[in-house]
Structures are given as C-alpha cells and as structure tokens.
Amino acid sequence: MRQAVFVERRRQGWQRLEQLLAVAERRGLRALAPEEIEELGRLYRWVTSDLAFSEGRQFDPSLRAYLHRLTARAHGYVYGGSVEGGWDRVAGFLKRDFPNEVRRSRWYILSCAALFVLAAVIAYTLIIAKPTNAYVVLGPSMVQPIHKSLHDSNFAFDRGYSATVSALIMTNNIKVSIIAAFGGITLGLLTLYAILGNGLVVGGEGAMYTNAGFGYDFWATIAPHGVIELTAIQLAGGGGLLLAAAFFNPGRLRRADALVRNARRAGVLFLGVCCMLLVAGLIEGFFSPQRFSPELRLSMGALTALALFYYFGFVGIDKKSNV
C-alpha cells in the first residue's frame, strides 16, 4: 500500500483520537463519556498498528514521528487512566472537573435551586402573614419563642470550641447533601423532599425571626457561610436528579449503563460539594461567631457569592469548545 493511500484511509481515525486526547488533556479523563473512553482505547490500538505498519514499510520519517507522538500521548490514558497524580489530580479536579461538571449539569442544579427558592418564598410569605402558620409549615417541634437574635442564640459558645463546632457543622451538612445527592436512586423523590424541606426551613425561620424583630440579624448571620452551604446543597440535589434522569431518560443506553454514567457525574458533584461544605464549616465555626457588625457579615456573604459566580462561571472553561 502506498503512503498516500494509507494516510487517506487512516487520517480520520487519527484526527478523532487527537480530538479525544485534547479533551482528556484539558479537562481530564472524566470529561469523556464512557463510550468515548471505549473509543479512545480502540483508536489507540489502531494507531499502534498503524505505527507498526508505517515502520515496516519505512514510510516518511515525519509520518512515523507523528504516529509515535500520538501513540505516546494516548498510552498514558489507556494504561494509566490519567497522567496526573497526587496533588496534581486534586488541583485538576478543583480547577477543571468540578466546575465543568457544574456547568454541564446546570439545568438539574437550577431546577433544585428553583424549588428551594419557591419553598422558601412560600414559607416566608405564609408565616409573615400569619405567625401561627409556622406550626403547619415547619411543625410544632421547630416553633419556639424567640427572645434574642440568631447570632446570640447560635453562637453563645466559648470561642475556644470553634474547631469542634466547625467539625459538627461540616458533618451535619454533608449528611444533608448525601440525602440530596443519593436520594436520586428513589427516582428523585428523596432528593426533591430534601431540597423542598431545606427551603421551607430557611424561609420559615427567616420569617419567624423577622416577626420577632431580628430579621436583619438573621440574614446577616447566615450570609457568611450560608451562600456556600446552600449552593452546595443545590449542587448535591442536581446530582440526585442526574441519577433519577438515568431511570427516566437513559437515551440510547440501557438503564443500568445510563445509571453508571450519571453516577460518575453525580460523584464529581458530590466530591465538590464536600469541599464546599468544608469551607462553609470553617467560616461558620471561626468567622460567623465573631461579634462583627451585620454589615460586615453581609459583605462576607456577598464576597462568597461573587467568588462562587466567578468559579462556576469561568474557571476551567475550554475556550475552544466553550465548555
């Protein structure tokens, strides 16, 4: 076979392998769908065969050098899974995998956020209009007389116990996120229940503190850690809806395969959520209890909101594919 005919027949496969490698190199192997990972392995075997063929026929050195480079690039992903390790892998996850998955799953996440906001607004409106509605919206166990601000109620502990309090807060928030994320295996019902309940509690408690004259302090108290914490729970809920989507809309895959695919994506979201909740727990344990002015606490909340907007909106974007 002449070199020109060989190149013409095989060029399309080489170009496709380059495309898959470019995605893996920019965004990590997790950015590829399971079928694309399988395709990468198949194309790698083809290109090694092409390399051997071109060496045997003594084709042009530039062609052989190109196939050598392409084979070497693919080898690490096929047999190593990733060329990253240790802290590089952690950095790659935070700089690339997590924000990219958030953008990819944005409609699931936004659906949870919309449900949360709707529940919070309904609870707030009902209890502001008639305080006794709190017994219906939140339940009798959560309704207690309010005689002082949330900041004084929640953060009256000795500041020397901040580390312990921070750890307890992280653990509790991660438990809520587990319910939201892995509740997707109940066809999303447990996920929706967790998001709905969280919205009712935030809106309902905000209304009760407002009725008691401590509304401004309430929002100022939850703002520093709450922006990150509540965003994380919506992301966890988005992962839960991803799992549910595998049952309702598997596409061309079998439901079992779709569930595995979406579980990987939900896992990326959940790992990122755990990182976010660690940060929120540190803020709630060490910053929120301090006797800072409400304005400073609200400013801290605004700062975290801007940081999240930048992180999820711009970090890790592939400028060539706009992802």
pLDDT in tens, 235-246: 999 999 999 999
Q: What average pLDDT does this structure show over 125-147?
A: 93
Least confident of 72-81, 227-236, 259-268: 72-81
pLDDT at 321: 43
| Predicted confidence band of residue 167 (pLDDT cuts 50, 70, 90) | low
User: Could you tell me which of 272, 240, 235, 194 has the C-alpha nearest to residue 109?
Assistant: 235
**148: number of Cβ within 10 Å:** 11
Place of tokens 């595995």: 260
Q: Is the pLDDT reported for residue 83 higher than 60?
A: no
* 196 to 180, 187, 235, 242, 305: CA distances (angstroms): 10, 15, 14, 17, 22
How much is the mean pLDDT over the chain?
A: 86
| Predicted confidence band of residue 51 (pLDDT cuts 50, 70, 90) | confident
Place of tokens 């990182």: 275
| Predicted confidence band of residue 86 (pLDDT cuts 50, 70, 90) | low
Q: Is 95 exposed, middle or buried (CB count within 10 Å of its CB: 0-12, 13-18, 19+)?
A: middle
